[in-house]
Amino acid sequence: MRRRGGFSAKPSFKAWMAALALLAASWPDTASADWRDDIGTFRIGIVAEPGGGNTVPGLALLTDAYTKALGMKAEFVVARDYQ
């Protein structure tokens, strides 16, 4: 039988669980912080236009943009065809 106006553990349990969830979400994760060091160079594969060989117009600008956005070295690997 429920008592009215008595002590209830449910609200305090919910508050404790919320505090625990906030603590877990804010806990520093050192493993994911150094993923850039683990990878070293971010490589992106692209296919050049037919007959273009290994040259892609504007590739230097793309490389610079990716390097700045990722905060690490980016490198494009250009394939002559899909095979």
Residue spans of alpha helices (H) in 1-83:
9-26, 30-33, 35-39, 59-70
- Please tell me the predicted confidence (pLDDT) of residue 11: 60
pLDDT at 8 > cutoff 60: no
Rounded mean pLDDT of the chain? 78
- With beta carbons less than 8 A apart as the criterion, state whether 45 and 59 touch: no
User: Whole-prediction pTM value?
Assistant: 0.54
Please tell me the distance from the alpha carbon of residue 69 to that of residue 63, in angstroms, as a whole number. Answer: 10
Eight-state DSSP code of residue 51: T
The residue extents of the domains of the chain are 29-83
Q: Note the pLDDT tens digit of each residue in 28-82.
A: 665 565 778 888 899 999 888 887 777 788 889 999 999 999 889 999 998 877 7
